[in-house]
Amino acid sequence: MAKIKSEVQNLTAEQIEFLIFGADLLSGLPVCFASEADRNEAFLANVDELVTLFAKRRPGERPRLWWALCAPEERRTIGQGGRILPDRSLKSHDLKESEAQFLDRLNLGLPFERAIIKEKVKEDSEIQARLLR
């Protein structure tokens, strides 16, 4: 924990762990933040460091708060044949692009995770192709 604490300023180790691994947007806040606004402010003030810590453990993915607060757009929906669907044709059984596919498409991968993202994109595409047959 000491290493994590030294990389992010003005947050406790408990707060850092919560922001990158335990931020359940659907449940109540633990005692480490007074409010949702405080949680969001802490995340946004340290977003680069928090995303880097997260990506070191889970390359090709991002923390839930990043998706809620920072993602430049929503993940695309993939329909039959792997084509991207316009919103008006979405069906409940259509799949979203994976986090790795999203990061790759928008070139949002960190330098140390780009090769891993490329491999995940290949694997995710193969799985989606089987599911959409």
Q: Do 80 and 133 sit in the same domain of this protein?
A: yes
Q: Do 86 and 132 sit in the same domain of this protein?
A: yes
Q: Do 77 and 65 sit in the same domain of this protein?
A: no
Q: Of 48, 71, 94, at which residue does a domain stop?
A: 71
Q: Tell me which of 39-53, 67-81, 111-125 is least confident.
A: 67-81
The pLDDT value recorded for residue 79 is 65
Please count the structural domains in the chain: 2
Q: Do 1 and 61 sit in the same domain of this protein?
A: yes
Q: What is the mean pLDDT of residues 33-37?
A: 87
Q: Do 85 and 131 sit in the same domain of this protein?
A: yes
Which residues, in sequence order, are CB contacts of 36 under 8 Å at separation 6+? Answer: 29
Burial class (CB in 10 A: 0-12, 13-18, 19+), 67: middle
Burial class (CB in 10 A: 0-12, 13-18, 19+), 50: buried
Q: Do 2 and 61 sit in the same domain of this protein?
A: yes
Which residues, in sequence order, are CB contacts of 81 under 8 Å at separation 6+? Answer: 132
Q: Do 87 and 123 sit in the same domain of this protein?
A: yes
| Domain span at 57 | 1-71
Q: Which residue has the higher pLDDT, 12 or 66?
A: 66
Q: Do 29 and 80 sit in the same domain of this protein?
A: no
Task: Find out whether 109 and 117 touch, Cβ atoms under 8 Å.
Answer: yes
Note the pLDDT tens digit of each residue in 82-99.
555 555 444 545 678 899
Q: Of 26, 44, 71, at which residue does a domain stop?
A: 71
Nearest to 29 by CA among 38, 131, 58: 38
* Structure-token pair, residue 96: 């979203």
The pLDDT value recorded for residue 24 is 54
Q: How confident is the model at residue 125 (pLDDT cuts 50, 70, 90)?
A: confident
